[in-house]
Amino acid sequence: MTFRAAVITFPGSNCDRDMATALEAVSGQPALRVWHGDADLPDRLDLIALPGGFSYGDYLRSGAMAATSPIMHAVIAAAQRGVPVLGVCNGFQVLTEARMLPGALLRNAGQRFICRTVDLTVANTTSPFTAGFAPGEAIRVPVAHHDGNYYADAETLDRIESEGQVAFRYATGCNGSARDIAGVLSANGRVLGMMPHPERAIEPAAVNAMGGADGRRLFANILAAFASA
């Protein structure tokens, strides 16, 4: 069967083309493009991706308005059926606002936009997104955000850590995120939200331009999980 991925575009998305390009580069199949105002998703999807950007201009709160878009009802239903969902940067914010992931993304500590390549530590290796990494492995992926400071109360943080829902941590801190959390998984491991941009680190040229091509491995993990399903 052919791998089928859909990329959702919201008003203000600016990484949707990057996400679609990355998925096609790794899978060999063009990603399906879905507008936020659509009520339904294409049939038989193997991945849904919510890209980075500034959906609805970040009005109200980052991701809050996008979380109420018509397509999100279909995204939530698909996730409940077990379809993997990846939210990157603004997509992570949308996932938390839609209550598909615990916690919230606050303004960065220092109130500054951060745009650079960061070192991450892999904290989970059992999900479809992370199974190809080694426990504790160091990878490098770019970030570009103003509201990436992950927050949850202490009880929630203890729970997601004990249940293996932390996917990635910042190796040397980044934006004030609680316990240096850079990516979070759903309880079943099939929804991942992360602030770093793996779609910007997929080509060999990225080794010099963006600090590495480790993002490609995340997409390769998804393809491997699809192939083994």
Q: Tokens for 6, please give them.
A: 């859909």
Q: Rounded to whole angstroms, how far apart are CA atoms 59 and 80?
A: 28
Q: Exactly one of 36, 145, 174, 199 is catalytic; which is it? A: 199
Residue 197 annotated in active site? yes
> How is 4-34 classified by DSSP, letter by letter?
-EEEEE-TTB-SHHHHHHHHHHHHSSPPEEE
Contacts of 48 by beta carbon, 8 Å cutoff, 6+ apart? 5, 6, 8, 41, 75, 78, 79, 83, 84, 85, 86
Q: Exactly one of 89, 97, 145, 174 is catalytic; which is it? A: 89
Q: Exactly one of 36, 97, 174, 197 is catalytic; which is it? A: 197
Alpha-carbon 187 to chain mean position:
15
Query: φ, ψ for residue 2 (rounded to 5)?
Result: -85, 135
Q: Name the H helices within 50-184.
A: 70-80, 90-97, 154-162
Q: Rounded to whole angstroms, how far apart are CA atoms 168 and 181?
A: 6
Active centre residues (catalytic): 89, 197, 199
